[in-house]
Structure 1
């Protein structure tokens, strides 16, 4: 795979566990490959059912699946050990110094969510390599996916603010500490590992939140609880700037099912499908029927993909919306953030320096404001029809000292 070209499209599929997202992701990848696009399908789901769906053993490196198609089950732990090893070793020494047993110390040195971060790094590497036209990602169930996609924001904030301060402090006090205590002190090797770790994270968010390059697709079943979770997921994805370009309504009862026993079930499906169409508008809703047998292997995935997409190109942007926009309103500037299905009661706003702090339910995001907005003050905010609008007015210049009121 030589001759790198500019990066192509990345498609992330997520949904509540059991809705069939792995099948949808695998069928999408196969359809892209058979349209002549160099495609790789990756699994970040710890359950790793992608191999079962393709009916082919997949490794932790790209494995040929069909002409133009490769598959891989990401081994995030392997990547993590490569980049986090020195840091983990120092943290383990600190915990052991504090009296924690060896095995427990090793476990404590692994911060929650780190494995998922290195899965993201792999996705970014592939997206930037130019070797692939389409990267299809079978994500973990929605709760894990949201946590996964919010991690770059959280860790980036930490590395930009805490890490530089920690290193300056280390250089000042390390010589003193080494003389008065046996506490293991982080050396340049540890800080060097932290810098490399930060370098790997750099750009992950930019790739995944670039709605031209990357799209998220929500897979749902016609069930009340599944739809409700998908609505929350759409809100949280928009909060972090990820663009959802389609909803896949999967496992709909076929019209050919005529047994009266299914009449009530079919009526419920029709009712839920209307709720999906209306609730997620203007997003397109793709439909796939409940299969009469397991969708396993390339032949059945091929038929599934053809029925799902028809003549459409699965790799294209199916909806052109942008989750966040900044627009001039006369002398004011308005920041608009799509938060579909968000409720005013679960929304919190704040301002800290050059950041706008937005919280929806349990998820929080610090939005770094452009330089041109740093000297502006928030003069108003409102949430209406799933759109948050925050107005920034022209900052009043400070009154000269001694000036009369």
Structure 2
């Protein structure tokens, strides 16, 4: 769950996890599921100062799952501890390559960075934290993992970290060069393996975040004017990243004003998706702060299951609109809301289309047919972003 700071994300995450654990069924299943014994739901928070341990009545034990009930565990990740431990493992692999790493000055410099200096490397901490979250989700220990992103300053910066880091690795030492150089110089092979492990993790994480069959994103917004003002940007960035949004919760408890304006804004932007593929609902204000299990249960938070339908840039398509050979014209399009159409910016970097919306830039990987094309124009029809491509004569196959 994610959203603007102060929207009540932690409370709603905890309430939803408690409800899911009580129900005894995975949210991605249509019917009840006998899950047997043990903690079937993991509630994971990345806020180092999260109040969840107090709310759930357990001790604060960073980086170790703590049993809350027979069906619910709490994992409180400390981003600093996770990143320092993971970075030490990675640089240990680089150092194990010995003198080979000195053949690449950039890698040698990276290997020399102490774990305590990671704050100087934008994106690295976010990637390592996401990798820890992914490890918990893929461990097979829990049927479902509820991730509370309230402790992250910018959740979109965190979620795009794998894509950004993979692109950086590919520019510093492209994969085809890694393979070729390690074949020619066997001393480089351990180094190439270490770099490849990070690169593969980046790709796996990026795919997991937008996989609509196993992942469901839930946006929490405050009520009142603040919710109405922040909704357009958050929904636009969610579509640009291709996140499988399944619900929007307008939290009346996070605002002293009514929720009608915020909910109406959300429904207008989502259009036909509101109520069909994306649930939109208001969480009513409570008489007291939900700081106990009993109060969390009263919120009655349930989430729609992953529905297998890609959204936004993850559901892009390419249309052949006419012409042949160098005269061919293609259109790349996907459902995309624009808070300010005049602020839309497009760029090109290798096989990626760089799209900037609401001050947020996201690389969108181009389908293979468009990688030999050049951008000829772009348009927005009020619902879809349409980018026109024509073949690049320098690289287009000649008949």
TM-score bracket, shorter-length normalisation:
0.7 to 0.9
Partner of 2:101: none
- Work out the CA distance in 1 between the residues paired with 2:373 and 2:149: 39
- Work out the CA distance in 1 between the residues paired with 2:20 and 2:207: 24
Partner of 2:41: 39
Partner of 2:370: 373
- Work out the CA distance in 1 between the residues paired with 2:195 and 2:397: 46
Kept after mapping to 2: 8 A contact 1:87/1:193: yes
Could you say which structure has the greater relative contact order, defined with CA pairs below 8 angstroms and 6 or more residues apart? 1
- Work out the CA distance in 1 between the residues paired with 2:332 and 2:397: 31
Residue 128 of structure 1, aligned match among 128, 131, 138: 138
Residue 300 of structure 1, aligned match among 295, 303, 317: 295
Partner of 2:29: none
Structure 2 gap segments, 5+ residues each:
26-39, 96-104, 183-187, 323-328
Residue 150 of structure 1, aligned match among 160, 166, 182: 160
Kept after mapping to 1: 8 A contact 2:251/2:283: yes
- Work out the CA distance in 2 between the residues paired with 1:363 and 1:369: 19
> TM-score, normalising length from structure 1?
0.73
Partner of 2:10: 22
- Work out the CA distance in 2 between the residues paired with 1:81 and 1:108: 8
Partner of 2:243: 242
2:126 is aligned with 1:116: yes
- Work out the CA distance in 2 between the residues paired with 1:348 and 1:30: 42
Partner of 2:102: none
Partner of 1:221: 222
Partner of 2:311: 322
Partner of 1:53: 55
Partner of 1:251: 252
C-alpha deviation, 1:41, in angstroms = 0.9
CA deviation vs aligned residue, 1:148-188 (integer Å, no higher than 9, x gap): 011111101011221349979x99xxxxxxxxxxxxxxx98
Change beyond 3 A, Cα 1:78–1:381: same
Could you say what the CA RMSD is over the residues aligned between the two structures, in angstroms? Answer: 4.0
Kept after mapping to 2: 8 A contact 1:63/1:72: yes
> TM-score, normalising length from structure 2?
0.74
Structure 1 gap segments, 5+ residues each:
1-12, 172-186, 255-264
Where 1:374 maps in the other structure, the secondary structure is helix
Partner of 1:4: none
- Work out the CA distance in 1 between the residues paired with 2:90 and 2:369: 38
Kept after mapping to 2: 8 A contact 1:58/1:72: no
Larger Rg: 1
